[in-house]
Structure 1
Amino acid sequence: MIKIPKIVWLSLSLAFSIFYSCLGLQQAFSSEYIVQDDARQHVFWMMRFIDPALFPNDFIADYFQSVAPLAYKTIYQLAAAIGINPLFFNKILPLFIGLITTFYCFAFSLEILPLPGTAFISSLVLNQNLWMKDDLVSATPRAFSYVLILAFLYYLSRRYLVPVLIAIALIGLIYPHCIFLAGGLLIIRLFKKKEKGFYLSQNPQDYRFCFLGLGVAFLVMLPYALSHSVFDPIITVAQAKQLPEFLPGGRTEFFSQRLDEYFIYGKRSGMFPMYPFIPLTLVSGVFLPLLLKFPSRFPLVKRIQPNIILLPQLLFGSLGMFFIAHAFIFRLHLPNRYTAYSFRIIIALSTGITLSLILDALLNWVAKKTISFSRRRQVIALSFIGLIVGAILFYPNTMKRFPITLYVEGNEPKLYEFFKQQPKDILIASLAEDTNSNLPSFTQRSIFIGREYSIPYHWGYYRKFRQRAIALIQTQYSSSLEEVKRFIKNHHIDFFLLDKNAFTPEYLADNSWLQQFQPYAKQAQQRLERGNLPILANFIKDCSVFETKYRVVLSAKCISGSTSKRMSKNQAI
């Protein structure tokens, strides 16, 4: 391959990472009211770091704060301590995570095949893959999984004990799921392969790494195991199978009648991550085991280091944890979490090596000066080289959307400004699916429920959340003023936020999320179909305190102060 200094290849790798991050930042700051999809869950509550008075007695904020890993919270808290708004920090953090991820990918690639060009390809295709999915850009705990795994692999390949132990600790403190991958890999490395099977390692260093690594993992995970939360217990399989949320079409679809979907490509239950081979150049990584069998045709094979064994070891460790997670469904969270991130890393590194082997073989072919080597064959070889290089560098240009960030833009700025002007302890009740989930991030005010926060894995949390959702559906479509008043009093509601078409049958029929709460959503829909107008509709004129083209805000205090006699008069009018 072309002799270019290592620092140039590394600089190019980092430059592409910055370039992709800048494309994401353009979207992040394209509007005043814009937030990353998953940040609406994992970051909104961190505004408490800026103002502790925000979200008082908010069980949704309390829940997401309780499940946030310690080091992850600390990173945002430190940023807030120097005056950086958590939601702003969330937008710029992917740039830095991407750079560190790129560095470790580059460094670890060199430990497998010591060619900077190969490291550049591996880091480039990994960056392209990461920006075609919203893991990195979310700056949530899973955004750190790639850099944590790569740092662990790099230090393990270099046999640096202390950095390996630090990496394991950070994995447990930022994204605990991956600590099982690290521990599994250390155990797998105790077994060495020989012609007739396997044998236990004779190297004391392997045991030192394994036992000390597992010890650190145990100490880091012990607080998780001993802690008790008001949001426990973890939902059981029997409970989950009774909830529409986990069934096909549900908010957190998991179970499927098709085994291929359930075990192979299901979003949460499947083995393979979404878009594992985008960019399509990643498909070439699958052929690495085949190319390794032909060192005479691909001379670079001879330069591959023994550290390549870490890739199949990580693969087997990931598969092992995948099936263990299926055996203990929800106890170890989602099975997909144990393959999605590691598979992307394995595929990217394999792709870098594979394409390097092919490019080197083609360049050697072109360099041959024999009578039988015609100019036509030389043109064909050079064309293939140009095609591969072009695909590596410019594949994102063929995408309709790149990068994929899943930023959510708020379309009701005046509404957000209205709620911002209200006291910090207000509570807003709303079934407006595309609005209520944005309010905590855009207004720093509490909501009663919201689709984005309907995460059902902790039954102590979701049981209460589901009860709230049902209560709000019943109240919003109730014909009883006393029932509405009782709801306001029991839950300390300050405002109702209504879609202007909320009292039509189609509003409920077309809302897949609300349809999960049966039979209550269906009963409300049937009442509307019979022409029964909910009592709240009668307050739109007298108790409206703010209105936009599509939504109206009602004062709960105004509703509570109304009398049945007054309502009868209004209805007569």
Structure 2
Amino acid sequence: MLSFAFKRSYLSIKQRLKALLFQSNSSRIHQTIWLSLSLAISLYFGGVSLHYAFSQPHIVQDDVRIHIVWFQRFVDPQLFPNDLFARYYQAIQPIGFKGLYWAVARLGIEPLWFAKILPLCLSLLTTSYVFGVSLQFLPIPFSAFLSTLILNQNIWLKDDLISATPRSFNYLLLAAFLYYVLNRSLFSCLVTLAIQGVFYPQLMLVEIGILGLRCLCWQGRSIKLVNDRSTWIAALTGCAIGATVILLFFTGVTQEFGDLVSAADMQTMPEFNSNGRRAYFGVDPLRFWLAGASGLRLPLFPPIIWVSLGLPFLLKARSPLTRSIAHLDLLEQLALASLGLFALAHLVFPTLYLPSRYTFYSARLIMAIGAGLVLFVLIKKGYIWLQATQRNAQKLTIQQQIVVGLCSLFAVAVFVIPAIPSLFLDCQNWVMGTAPELYQFLRNQPPTTVVASLTPEANNIPAFTGRSVLVSQELAMPYHARFYQQVQQRLSDLIRAQYSSNLAGTQTMLNKYQVDFLLVDDRFFEPSYLLKQDWLIHSSVQPVVRQAVTQLQQGATPAIVPTIDRCTAIQERNLILLEIRCIQTLAAANQAGEVTPVETTIESTK
């Protein structure tokens, strides 16, 4: 009797599991279960990342240092006064993105704090939309769960979602757009398109391309125009929205900082050539077409996402299961629109900005959905095979047991390995501040304080101190000519000032920019120090760098070296912060012919 009850219970559980895995979404309970599990996956990745983001006082995501730190002025208008980089990076931000941070600042929420919690919110919304989109392709919740799982693994193993910059919104907005297209919700579709335009205009062009392609259809071997009024309204309205957004976006940037650097000028600039800050030209063909700003940039992680390439082969089999997969024409239109704009961006480069922007996000969404469909079909076929084996009362052979074991191990690895915190956190490009005393000292200085430095630490000063820097590696983006000319001039003047053998010359150059502090590395006077700075060696200021290196190699001593003992405001690790007023006093004394006993030499600073 007990054996019969146990068997009955086992069969009941087995039937429920089968229904949970393979039954269509006619059951709302099953759909809710799998959506909840999908959101739990997103919550896990986002929760771990959020905990890490608040784990220590001086931690910031790499791109936040460039694009978001200036929004702190929405909370405290006194920050970054007359700052070139604050003006530039606020000017190039899409109006919707900038407006969102302004709005939360009005609520009293600091932008740097908001940037840490935003990615989790975006991922939960993205997961919900992708789940809904996947159900349109195959109305089985488990298949949708697989797609959301793979997408979450991918987007948390990269630094775009976590950056809380405009590109963080692309997965959500693109998934929402596809969802409303599939549900034929014209108003919601156009609203999403408009929001996409004010957050990331490049992907809006892809979406307009989709609407345009939906106006065409195959009839036999020829292409015909569809006879559907709503489809044409969507396409024409989308074009009007796109034209308006692009006009507003491009006008605001060019008025203050001019047009983009031309392709011809880029080819002559070291920054855009091999090993440059934004290498585009001069790279090998494989890298040019597959990686970097010019390439397709298809996803590499998690590797399971590449099983999506098997979808066309499964569809050719025409099994009852694959015949139930619908709306794949939308994925084809997304791929075609992305590739078309990718090609157009190359043809008119750099008018449409970087070609990779048109394929990067769409490829990840297409491949995640495709991989979920393929995995589901394979799992279903495997289940049917095991069921048939059991019904025939056959035992698995040793080889079959090995195959089943390996498949089970592979499934566990696919699920567990990308979820290891040390793995995905390392891919998110978090930056740790390592000079807390320096940060505290600068925070206590007036908001008008300007720090000049060639050290990598200059990248962190605005984010960790709220104070301006004269120039830094991360901020020296060479895309707009009028902006980058000022950056180049600052770099050239700073290198000359730091390595000048005349203290009066150093003082004059630093006074030009009203610099308050000079931050140097304790080995800055060694020729190898400059030679290791790739962002300087492979830049348009290379001649100035080479001249300074030559002077050092010939035994010249920078004039600021003897001032280190007297003018050091604070020293932490290898960083020395020199006070410019002190240097000015010594320079004035030297000009007046006074004898200033200074014992510091190059040897004493080693």
Q: The TM-score by the shorter chain falls in which range?
A: over 0.9
Deviation at 1:398, TM superposition (A): 6.9
- Which residue does the alignment assign to 1:356? 376
- Matched letter for residue 2 of structure 1: K
Q: How far apart, in 1, do the equivalents of 2:404 and 2:570 lie?
A: 67
Query: In the alignment, does 2:253 pair up with 1:263?
Result: no
Query: In the alignment, does 2:466 pair up with 1:440?
Result: no
Deviation at 1:530, TM superposition (A): 1.2
- Matched letter for residue 85 of structure 1: E
- Which residue does the alignment assign to 1:151? 176
- SS, match of residue 570 in structure 2: strand
Q: RMSD of the TM alignment (CA)? A: 1.9
1:239-318 correspondence to structure 2 within 5 Å: 239-265=265-291, 267-273=292-298, 276-296=299-319, 299-305=320-326, 307-318=327-338
State the TM-score, normalized to the length of structure 2.
Answer: 0.90
Cα deviation per residue 1:467-504 (whole Å; 9 max; x = unaligned)? 11111011110112232122122211111111111111
The one of 359, 371, 387 equivalent to 1:339 is: 359
- Which residue does the alignment assign to 1:35? 60
- SS, match of residue 534 in structure 2: coil
The one of 401, 409, 415 equivalent to 2:438 is: 415
- Matched letter for residue 243 of structure 2: F
- SS, match of residue 447 in structure 2: coil
Deviates more, 1:516-525 or 1:552-561: 552-561
- Residues 281 and 391 of structure 1 are in contact (CA less than 8 Å); yes or no, is this contact kept in structure 2? no
Deviation at 1:257, TM superposition (A): 4.1
1:139–1:371 Cα change, 3 Å: closer
1:483–1:389 Cα change, 3 Å: same
Deviation at 1:229, TM superposition (A): 2.4
1:200-215 correspondence to structure 2 within 5 Å: 200-215=225-240
- Residues 141 and 175 of structure 1 are in contact (CA less than 8 Å); yes or no, is this contact kept in structure 2? yes
The one of 439, 452, 471 equivalent to 2:493 is: 471
- Matched letter for residue 569 of structure 1: V
1:530–1:346 Cα change, 3 Å: same
State the TM-score, normalized to the length of structure 1.
Answer: 0.95
Cα deviation per residue 1:241-296 (whole Å; 9 max; x = unaligned)? 1211111111111113422221222x1111124xx131111111011001100023
Q: How far apart, in 1, do the equivalents of 2:209 and 2:200 lie?
A: 16
- SS, match of residue 199 in structure 1: strand
Q: How far apart, in 1, do the equivalents of 2:112 and 2:393 lie?
A: 61
- Which residue does the alignment assign to 2:348? 328
- Residues 562 and 598 of structure 2 are in contact (CA less than 8 Å); yes or no, is this contact kept in structure 1? no
Query: In the alignment, does 2:459 pair up with 1:428?
Result: no
Q: How far apart, in 2, do the equivalents of 1:92 and 1:549 lie?
A: 32
Q: How far apart, in 2, do the equivalents of 1:105 and 1:570 lie?
A: 71
Bigger Cα Rg:
2
1:568–1:192 Cα change, 3 Å: farther
The one of 1, 18, 24 equivalent to 1:2 is: 18
- SS, match of residue 255 in structure 2: coil
- The percent of aligned pairs where both chains have the same amino acid is 35
Q: How far apart, in 2, do the equivalents of 1:530 and 1:466 lie?
A: 26
Q: How far apart, in 1, do the equivalents of 2:335 and 2:404 lie?
A: 35
Deviates more, 1:118-127 or 1:219-228: 219-228
Q: How many residues align?
A: 566
User: Structure 1: 5+ residue runs without aligned partners?
Assistant: none
The one of 474, 489, 495 equivalent to 1:452 is: 474
Q: How far apart, in 1, do the equivalents of 2:364 and 2:593 lie?
A: 61
Q: How far apart, in 2, do the equivalents of 1:139 and 1:161 lie?
A: 28
Q: How far apart, in 2, do the equivalents of 1:286 and 1:216 lie?
A: 34
Q: How far apart, in 1, do the equivalents of 2:231 and 2:199 lie?
A: 26
The one of 64, 83, 104 equivalent to 2:89 is: 64
User: Structure 2: 5+ residue runs without aligned partners?
Assistant: 1-16, 21-29, 600-606
Q: How far apart, in 2, do the equivalents of 1:572 and 1:62 lie?
A: 41
Q: How far apart, in 2, do the equivalents of 1:300 and 1:222 lie?
A: 47
- SS, match of residue 256 in structure 2: coil
Query: In the alignment, does 2:182 pair up with 1:160?
Result: no
The one of 549, 574, 587 equivalent to 1:550 is: 574
- Residues 38 and 127 of structure 2 are in contact (CA less than 8 Å); yes or no, is this contact kept in structure 1? yes
Deviation at 1:79, TM superposition (A): 1.7
Deviates more, 1:471-480 or 1:509-518: 509-518
- Matched letter for residue 530 of structure 2: L
- SS, match of residue 300 in structure 1: helix
